[in-house]
Chain A
Amino acid sequence: MRVNRLAVAAVAILAAALSTACSGGSEEPSAGAASQSAAAAGPVKLTYWTWVPNMDKIVAVWNQAHPDIQVTVSKQAGGDDAAAKFLTAAKAGNPPDLVQAEYQMLPSFVAADAVADIKAETAQVKGEFGEGIWSLVTLGTDAVYGVPQDSGPMMLYYRKDLFDKYGIKVPKTWDEYAEAARTVHKKNPKVFLGTFSSKDPGWFAGLAQQAGAQWWSISGDAWKVAVNDEPTKKVASYWGGLVKEGVIDGMPYFTPEWNKALNDGTLLTWPSAVWGPGVLSSNAPKAKGKWAIAPLPQWNAGENYSGFWGGSSTAVAAKSPNKAAAAKFAIWLNTDPQALKLLIDEGAIYPASVKGAALMTKAPDYFSNQPDFWQQAAAIGATARGFTFGPDVNVTYNAYKDAFDKAVAAKSDFTAAVQSMQDATVADMQKSGFSLAQ
């Protein structure tokens, strides 16, 4: 019975479909032609790969105001996976028109000929960004490969309430940080001042930048690779010593275990970037109002430096058929006051544009206990120094994970891990044929 009814329904649907198809073909040729010509003159359609939260809401504002350029957001997982996906799509010939490109990945994108030079389109907005940030999208060349979106100057997030409880002061130098780590762990063996994450090469790169490292540089027509330079080795042996001593934990960031430690007060600090509040509010909701920020501890008393962890630009794919429209959107998104406000409020982003700082007035909800959060962040941001990223950061970062995984598990020499990052990076560049300076 049921089968019969289903069959009847199927036949009816089929018949209906056929008849409409026929009528569409025979009776309305003019309508078909009209829609075709409308498509040719219709709005430019752009796709945009990003992992900024609520970007669809921000794009909706653009789409409303620009009926001729319609942008569709495709939400990405973020990080290394997103970069790999974009490179693969570019190689396969169907990349999105616009892509969120982390600064350290941009050289890889450029080397793979996956992003377009938008120098002409961006000439009038160059002044909206600081020189340090701008150099991250030019790679020190004459070209411009993206519009800076946000930056990630690093600072120290700490549990204010527990610092009081354990009687420690906010460390001004890394020596004081080490001393505090010993004190805390002695008072309560379950509690750690911090943890060394072998899964976050970007974090380690930021700490190395603070110490003055220059992993890559261009001399003439050749790359110079110095992942194992003295500042980096200093940072590595400092953390390696504390992990070996057992006063700094070795669990990676962004794991369920880490979330738990952030929440329950067994982890007291997180040297992180300005985008930290978003992570803390979603991963450690219970600890709201208990965290505060301070500048990173310094290597020498009296110094005032920071590094960058993360930060991205909006790049236009080299294979996009609508580069001009895509560049127009990228510029709007990252320099228009309305867009910047949306990026701050909806996307929880710290804009790279100098206009952005003025728009950040109200402290993030999670840090309502620290009303001057953004003023402090801006002061810290001004002290951050970065370095040039090379064309195979992905290889270096992967080597970081493998080498430091082993070093943390075995509590062995961290400078050896740095050396294997250097070796992997150089070997890969040699294999591909890059010119290397000694």
Chain B
Amino acid sequence: MRSPTKGARAGRAGAVPYLFLAPAMALFALFMALPIGYTCYLSLRRIKVSGLGLGKGARKEVFAGLANYAAAIGDGELWAGWLRVLGYGALVLTLMLGLALVFALMLDATHVRLARFTRISIFLPYAVPGVAATLMWGFLYLPSLSPFGDHRFLGADLVTFSMANVAIWGGTGFNMLVLYTNLRAVPREYYEAAKIDGASELAIALRIKIPLLVPSIILTTVFSVIATIQVFTEPTTLRPLTNTISSTWSPLMKVYRDAFVTGDLYSAAATSMVIAAISLVLSFGFLRIVKNHAFGEGR
């Protein structure tokens, strides 16, 4: 009795996990592995034109080796784009996350009036689609339409700040909500104990709340880093309004330009692989550095 049932059960148990995994694996293969593989394939090819390039058969796809990668890595515009995004990202990350943290702590303080209303109104900009938000701000920035007076918000020296402002306006609410939700989960007894010990609201915020929030802060930072690397909507939407944003302002804009404006899908594929590698290194690098703070406590 024992041995046959055991064998049958083990066999069934062996198949069941795969069955449960199958949908996820199928989706992963279809929508992640396959496109990445195809991009990789494209990045190793190029178009070879002969003669005038007109008419049938004048244009062939050939193997290019690593030439597209060499061109992508050797392109000064790509690295200049990274520098611009770095400056923009430094602004967005510090201001947006800083504001989100301050707002979350303020809303969580003991005596707050209109907490619900304030929370919703800070969160609301997140519900505005990026393109709509950027267009709205774009109109506000144009000197002849701006209610803020005759400043060149989209001029060479201010344009990065103007773009960062759109991202901060849109993203603060979301990050605040993540932090605030985590704060609400903290047992109130901690605060009572601290108060009995004579801690002020400020001391509670600095010594209890922020240390408890560190994992969430790291999470929101990683999300924001990834979003910043992928910045595309704001500069692309503002570009028609000003002559200070080039078609290669951010790395992803360069990919878009190569693929859809100048029609070189192969260079675009190689550049996207390079960008993917850099964002992997950046986000995992950051996680590695802060790993002990974030997830080490449980062990």
- Which residues of A line the B interface, CB within 8 A? 80, 84-85, 87-88, 91, 107-108, 110-113, 139, 141, 143, 198-199, 218, 221-223, 250, 252, 254-257, 260-261, 391-392, 394-395, 398, 401-402, 404-406, 408-409, 428, 432-435
Tell me the complex Cα distance, A401–B253, Å: 14
CB contact under 8 A between A88 and B260, given known A113-B59, A139-B54, A143-B55: yes
* Chain B positions within 8 Å of A222 at CB level: 51-52
* Chain A positions within 8 Å of B56 at CB level: 113
- Interface status of B148 (Cβ within 8 A of chain A): no
Nearest residue, chain A, Cβ from B62: A433
Interchain CB contact (< 8 A) of A398 among B58, B145, B247: B247
* Contact sample, A vs B, 18 pairs, CB 8 Å cutoff: A108-B263, A111-B54, A111-B59, A143-B55, A222-B52, A255-B240, A255-B241, A256-B145, A257-B143, A257-B144, A392-B263, A405-B245, A405-B246, A406-B243, A406-B246, A409-B156, A432-B47, A434-B52
- Interface status of B216 (Cβ within 8 A of chain A): no
Nearest residue, chain A, Cβ from B260: A84
Tell me the complex Cα distance, A435–B49, Å: 9
Are A405 and B58 in contact (CB-based, < 8 A)? Answer: no
Q: How far is the CB of A105 from chain B (nearest CB, A)?
A: 11
Interchain CB contact (< 8 A) of B263 among A87, A250, A435: A87
* Chain A positions within 8 Å of B139 at CB level: 256
Within 8 A of A (CB), among B240-299: 240-248, 257, 260-265
CB contact under 8 A between A398 and B49, given known A257-B142, A405-B244: no
Tell me the complex Cα distance, A435–B246, Å: 30
* Chain A positions within 8 Å of B143 at CB level: 257
* Chain A positions within 8 Å of B142 at CB level: 255-257
CB contact under 8 A between A432 and B246, given known A108-B263, A111-B58, A256-B139: no
- Interface status of B211 (Cβ within 8 A of chain A): no
Are B257 and A398 in contact (CB-based, < 8 A)? Answer: yes
- Interface status of B50 (Cβ within 8 A of chain A): yes
Nearest residue, chain B, Cβ from A142: B55
Tell me the complex Cα distance, A432–B56, Å: 16
- Interface status of B207 (Cβ within 8 A of chain A): no
Tell me the complex Cα distance, A84–B263, Å: 7
- Interface status of B48 (Cβ within 8 A of chain A): yes
* Chain A positions within 8 Å of B52 at CB level: 218, 221-223, 391, 434-435
Tell me the complex Cα distance, A256–B144, Å: 9
Q: How far is the CB of B232 from chain A (nearest CB, A)?
A: 15
* Chain B positions within 8 Å of A408 at CB level: 243
Q: Mark B192-217, 1 if CB is under 8 A from A, else 0.
A: 00000000000000000000000000
Are B243 and A433 in contact (CB-based, < 8 A)? Answer: no
Are B247 and A199 in contact (CB-based, < 8 A)? Answer: no
Tell me the complex Cα distance, A405–B243, Å: 4
* Chain B positions within 8 Å of A84 at CB level: 260-261, 263
Q: Mark B134-156, 1 if CB is under 8 A from A, else 0.
A: 00000100111100000000011
CB contact under 8 A between A394 and B240, given known A256-B142, A409-B156: no
Kindly list 14 other residue pairs between chains A and B, CB separation below 8 angstroms, not including A221-B51, A402-B247. Answer: A80-B261, A85-B260, A112-B59, A113-B56, A392-B262, A392-B263, A398-B262, A405-B243, A405-B245, A428-B262, A432-B47, A432-B48, A434-B49, A434-B52
Tell me the complex Cα distance, A111–B263, Å: 11
- Interface status of B35 (Cβ within 8 A of chain A): no
Q: How far is the CB of B236 from chain A (nearest CB, A)?
A: 11
* Chain B positions within 8 Å of A391 at CB level: 49, 52-54
Are A394 and B262 in contact (CB-based, < 8 A)? Answer: yes
Q: How far is the CB of B267 from chain A (nearest CB, A)?
A: 9
Q: How far is the CB of B15 from chain A (nearest CB, A)?
A: 31
Are B145 and A260 in contact (CB-based, < 8 A)? Answer: yes
Are A435 and B247 in contact (CB-based, < 8 A)? Answer: no
Are B144 and A261 in contact (CB-based, < 8 A)? Answer: yes
Tell me the complex Cα distance, A157–B50, Å: 44
